[in-house]
Amino acid sequence: MAKAKIKIIASGKLDKTGLKKIGKSFLLTVGAAVLGWIGNSAGIIDYGSLNEFAITFLPFLVNAGYKWLGKYETV
């Protein structure tokens, strides 16, 4: 059985894969924030006193759902 090669990137540097991951994470965060804002503005969601908590964790929940529902590979 062949061992998987692990590519080590020095600190302070990024490769294309790292930039793509950061870009996807950013888009998911912005998308989650927009969905939360639309839900709150339309009266579908009422955060009440948990507004700051929801703003902090909504992108995480969307990203976790994306990973749970989609396919991904790890090395």
Residue 11 lies in a domain: no
Residue 47 lies in a domain: yes
Residue 18 lies in a domain: no
| Residue 13 Cα distances to 8, 10, 20, 25, angstroms | 10, 6, 14, 18
Residue 2 lies in a domain: no
Q: What is the pLDDT of residue 19?
A: 79
Residue 60 lies in a domain: yes
Domain span including residue 38: 31-67
- CA atoms of 29 and 65, how far apart (whole Å): 12
Residue 3 lies in a domain: no
pLDDT 10s digits, 1-57: 567 676 666 666 767 877 788 788 888 788 878 887 888 888 887 777 777 777 777
Q: How many domains does the chain have?
A: 1
